[in-house]
């Protein structure tokens, strides 16, 4: 039976992230590889253990064509690995910068400056662009409508305080360090600026002659930030677990943070996903509840940015110090972390609408949400990954069927959340996280469905899901419904923790897994799976063809993932800033984007980014002749000493020594006006 945790000591992995899954999954041995495969891994002969995985696909209706087959889907010449401080695209393509951090989009349209106030940041594009989507201005489905006019909706995952504040100049600050006052507090306007740098930007853009795009002033332009009022829906609404001083009835909260990847609903609204939100909060209580501990809420004296230290001590800031200080939860913010870790729905076409946190999709470090194409009269189905080492992949199936005329966010508030178990024989099972089923009962520490969802990770532990190597973005092949997920890395996986779905110990390079639902029915509770690619250097990688990667396509740490309408699979990488161009990672150069033909397994490098960044977010206009991608945190590899000395290693995109590096969207077009990738 699960009990409330007493005071614990946080443990961290090699990259400084808290290790949250320390459970002894009672069924873990049942999903380990066979003894033979385990001995092969332990002897270092991994290639022999996994060769059979790449002899051909086990998915119904999909067989790998020969690796030397014609690949007309990939009509460009691969670009080489790069360490340049620039965007490199294939010959015949042009890349242009659009809406960098600080671009004015609303209100008084304040121009970007290092001296911008917190309020001004709330009228500008946020920092550290991530997932995004282009909505044609008519408000139709993603594959219909205008390709020259629309709303670009962009996530802003986090901020880099040293590049945000004029007061930081000359200080020795690293990427996550923030300026402090001598009295141990933080300047309130600096905190406000950081909070307004988070969230989502909704910006109308239009194409100009020559292929460039510009911001259009429009009443639909708006910022959603860490302060925006939000509604809570689904089984957790009204639960005692989310009641706070701000919302004593447990129906509302303020803000969304660490907005990573995204989703687009079948009714054409935007979903933004809260990923690494936990360490934004601090709990200094002696007893830390499991709904804080299992997610990695800070317990070491300060939160990630110290927002709770704002010197005006207003509630909107001190709520990030989530300790119990009153006689009841409605007198303090002990439950504030429980109002984060959700998927948030935004209507980009209605600036007066209130964003909604949908609790039936689970609470964890959501990377994104990807939907199966809706079928009239059938439930909707979507998937999401929990981006942390040894965490899980989830699936949601609505209780009510999809009806195009009436579909709305209500379909996300009543259904079943499942978690995946990958079996060693290439089959898998979806395990329901439903109160009263699979042992999720009061006898085992779960009081109701709200409790199961607030503690999604703990419930997934209990039902014996497969611990994965950081599940990130998902993508669905529009031709056959096969689901692909990136597993970015897991350097903490030990040899005795290897299984066939996560076949490498000390998995520095990552891989991409895929599955097909039984009977091609998205609502099925079983599936077949295989590994599409093991990324890494030539001597430690495998493509679908069974051959290793080569100079045209070696990559590490797959992250962003997206299928275009022609079923090209676009793969983006996120080598961590502590590893980029260092040691064994130097062979991969700067982060990049590749395209894949999933029939043949052919992969080609399409783009490389500037220094210190991550390539993330990808979408095209309906005609596929304009592509948008994001460059996040350029210059993040600048050391504390370099920053203090003014030696910034990237000045992208402005190339101006007076302007710090800025995350930005990049517009890519083909010079002949053709479809991207052909």
Residue 41 pLDDT more than 50?
no
What pLDDT is recorded for position 22? 67
Let me know: does 558 contact 615? Beta carbons within 8 Å: no
Let me know: does 253 contact 244? Beta carbons within 8 Å: yes
User: 611: which DSSP letter?
Assistant: T
Sign of the alpha-carbon dihedral angle for 188, 194, 195, 197: positive
pLDDT tens profile 149-208 = 999 999 999 999 999 999 999 999 999 899 999 999 999 999 999 999 999 999 999 999
pLDDT tens profile 314-342 = 999 999 999 999 999 999 999 999 999 99
More confident residue, 129 or 53: 129
Q: From the CB of residue 35, how many other CB atoms can be counted at a distance below 10 Å?
A: 8
pLDDT tens profile 203-259 = 999 999 888 999 999 999 999 999 999 999 999 999 999 999 999 999 999 999 999
Sheet holding 614-620, edge to edge: 93-98, 664-670, 626-632, 614-620
Residue 14 pLDDT more than 60?
no
pLDDT tens profile 272-299 = 999 999 999 999 999 999 999 999 999 9
72 φψ region: left (φ > 0), alpha (ψ -120 to 50), beta (else): alpha
Residue 64 pLDDT more than 90?
no
Long-range contacts of residues 10-19, Cβ cutoff 8 Å, at least 24 apart: 10/296, 10/298, 10/299, 10/300, 13/389, 13/491, 13/492, 14/491, 14/492, 15/491, 15/576, 15/578, 17/276, 17/296, 17/388, 17/389, 18/278, 18/279, 18/296, 19/389, 19/390, 19/492
**Residue recorded with tokens 């936990």:** 278
- From the number of C-beta atoms within 10 Å of its C-beta (0-12, 13-18, 19+), residue 631 rates as buried
What pLDDT is recorded for position 211? 86
Q: What are phi and psi of 433, to 5 degrees?
A: -100, 70
Residue 628: pLDDT band by 50, 70, 90 thresholds? very high
Of 70-84, 108-122, 211-225, 573-587, the range with the lowest mean pLDDT is 70-84
Token pair listed for 139: 């408000």
User: 585: which DSSP letter?
Assistant: G
Residue 47 pLDDT more than 80?
no
More confident residue, 32 or 44: 44
Residue 604 pLDDT more than 90?
yes
Residue 150 to residue 623: CA distance in whole angstroms: 13
Side-chain-side CA neighbours of 668 within 13 Å: the count stands at: 25
Residue 179 to residue 428: CA distance in whole angstroms: 49
């Amino acid at each position: 039976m699960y009990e409330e945790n007493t005071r614990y000591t946080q443990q961290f992995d090699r990259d400084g992230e808290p290790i949250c899954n320390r459970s002894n999954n009672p069924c873990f041995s049942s999903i380990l590889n066979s003894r033979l495969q385990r001995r092969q891994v332990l002897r270092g002969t991994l290639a022999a253990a996994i060769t059979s995985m790449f002899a051909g696909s086990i998915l119904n209706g999909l067989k790998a064509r020969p690796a030397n087959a014609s690949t007309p889907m990939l009509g460009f010449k691969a670009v080489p690995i790069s360490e340049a401080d620039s965007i490199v695209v294939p010959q015949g393509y042009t890349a242009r910068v659009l809406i960098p951090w600080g671009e004015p989009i609303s209100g008084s349209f304040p121009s970007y400056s290092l001296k911008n106030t917190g309020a001004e940041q709330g009228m500008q594009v946020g920092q550290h662009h991530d997932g995004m989507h282009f909505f044609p201005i008519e408000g139709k489905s993603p594959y219909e409508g205008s390709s020259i006019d629309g709303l670009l909706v962009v996530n802003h995952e986090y901020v880099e305080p040293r590049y945000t504040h004029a007061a930081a100049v000359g200080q020795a600050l690293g990427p996550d360090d923030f300026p402090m006052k001598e009295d141990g507090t933080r300047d309130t306007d600096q905190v406000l600026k950081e909070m307004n740098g988070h969230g989502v930007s909704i910006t109308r853009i239009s194409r100009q002659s020559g292929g460039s795009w510009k911001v259009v002033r429009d009443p639909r332009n708006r910022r959603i930030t860490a302060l925006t009022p939000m509604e809570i829906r689904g089984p957790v609404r009204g639960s005692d677990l989310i009641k706070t001083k701000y919302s004593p009835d447990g129906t509302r909260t303020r803000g969304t943070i660490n907005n990573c990847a995204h989703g687009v609903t079948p009714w054409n609204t935007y979903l933004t996903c809260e990923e690494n939100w936990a360490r934004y909060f601090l709990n200094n209580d002696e007893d830390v509840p499991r709904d804080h501990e299992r997610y990695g809420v800070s317990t070491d004296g300060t939160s990630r940015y110290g927002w709770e230290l704002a010197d005006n001590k207003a509630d909107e800031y001190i709520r990030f110090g989530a300790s119990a200080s009153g006689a009841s939860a409605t007198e303090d913010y002990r439950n504030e972390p429980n109002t984060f870790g959700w998927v948030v729905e935004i209507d980009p076409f209605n600036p007066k609408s209130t964003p909604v946190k949908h609790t039936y999709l689970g609470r964890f470090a959501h990377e994104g949400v990807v939907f199966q194409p809706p079928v009239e009269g059938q439930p909707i189905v979507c998937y999401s990954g929990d981006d942390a080492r040894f965490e899980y992949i989830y699936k949601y199936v609505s209780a009510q069927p999809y009806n195009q005329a009436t579909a709305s966010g209500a379909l996300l508030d009543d259904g079943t959340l499942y978690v995946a178990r990958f079996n060693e024989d290439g089959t898998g099972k979806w395990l329901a996280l439903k109160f009263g089923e699979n042992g999720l009962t009061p006898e085992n520490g779960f009081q109701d469905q709200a409790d199961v969802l607030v503690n999604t990770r703990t419930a997934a532990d209990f039902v014996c899901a497969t611990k994965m190597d950081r599940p990130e973005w998902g993508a669905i092949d529009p031709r056959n419904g096969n689901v692909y997920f990136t597993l970015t890395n897991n350097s903490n996986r030990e040899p005795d923790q290897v299984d066939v779905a996560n076949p490498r110990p000390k998995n520095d390079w990552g891989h991409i897994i895929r599955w097909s639902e039984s009977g091609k029915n998205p609502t099925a509770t079983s599936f077949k799976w295989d590994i599409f690619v093991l990324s890494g250097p030539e001597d430690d990688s495998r493509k679908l063809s069974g051959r290793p990667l080569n100079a045209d396509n070696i990559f590490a740490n797959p992250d962003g993932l997206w299928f275009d309408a022609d079923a090209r699979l676009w793969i983006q990488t996120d080598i961590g800033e502590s590893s980029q161009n260092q040691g064994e990672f130097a062979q991969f150069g700067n982060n990049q984007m590749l395209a894949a033909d999933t029939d043949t397994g052919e992969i080609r490098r399409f783009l490389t980014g500037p220094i210190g960044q991550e390539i993330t977010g990808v979408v095209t206009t309906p005609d596929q002749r304009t592509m948008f991608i994001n460059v996040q945190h350029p210059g993040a590899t600048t050391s504390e000493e370099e920053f203090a000395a003014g030696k910034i290693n990237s000045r992208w995109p402005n190339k101006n020594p007076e302007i710090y590096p800025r995350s930005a969207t990049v517009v890519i077009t083909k010079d002949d006006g053709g479809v991207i990738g052909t």
